[in-house]
Each structure stands twice: as C-alpha cells, then as structure tokens.
Amino acid sequence: MNLVSLQSDFELLDDWEDRYRYIIELGRSLEPLPEELKTEETKVRGCVSQVWLTSETTHGQNGDGPVLHFRGDSDAHIVRGLIAVVFALYNGKPARKILEIEPGTVFEALGLKDHLTPQRSNGLASMVERIRSDARAALAT
C-alpha cells in the first residue's frame, strides 16, 4: 500500500463509517508481528492500545543513505489499521526522506485529524515520533 493508493481509496468512500471499516481492513492486511518481537523495547509509549513497532535498516541505492523498513502490530483493530496508514507514509523510505515528511498535512488531507479521538491522535503522533526517532538513529550510525 502506498500513499497515493490510500488517498484514492479514501476519496472513493463517502462517509467516515466506511473509512473506519477500510482502515480496519488495512490493519488486517498487516503481517502479524511474532510474539517474540512484542517486547518492552518495541512497545510504543503514548498509545492507549498496545502498539509495537520494529525497524530494519538497509543501505539505499543511488546514495539515498539508510532506508527503513517497519513492522508493527496492535491489540486494537482500528490501531492496526492506523499502523498500516503510517506505513504507507514511511515504510521503505530513506531516513532523510522520513524526516522531511510532514505527517500532519497527510493526516489532515485524509481527514484523520478531524475524525480520530484525542487518544488515538496522540497514539498516532507517538507512532510517527518513534519512526522519526529510528530514522534519526539510522542517520547517526
């Protein structure tokens, strides 16, 4: 799933109940995170639901620098879907690009800012900050 496809799919759905169902379906498409990777180290702080994120760094081609690949999971269906949305924005991107992306603009364009509870919005921000932190760490090594 990439960001362009995600935006197109959102535009096809008229009401937010349909969009929530779509987000839940996106979450079902995520590969489950193995239990051994659900640790305190991979847990995302600031989320009401349990959320785990892992990252793997590869070397980019054409001088892109480190490229990050993410895996994640949650104990809540809607949050798994939000992880999929975040991955559409960041997964497989060079660390420098990750730090340049302004997620608020994307989330606003999708309507997420207006349709998520404050707790879910905070959790989404925590996931993004974790990804950005991993990108900074990849650039530092």
Could you tell me if 75 and 30 are in contact, meaning their C-beta atoms sit under 8 angstroms apart? no
Joined tokens for residue 55? 């990252």
Could you tell me if 66 and 94 are in contact, meaning their C-beta atoms sit under 8 angstroms apart? yes
Q: Which of 44, 47, 85, 106 is catalytic?
A: 47
CA contacts within 13 A on the Cβ side of 110 = 25
Catalytic residue status for 47: yes
Burial label for 127, CB within 10 Å (0-12, 13-18, 19+), is buried
Catalytic residue IDs: 47
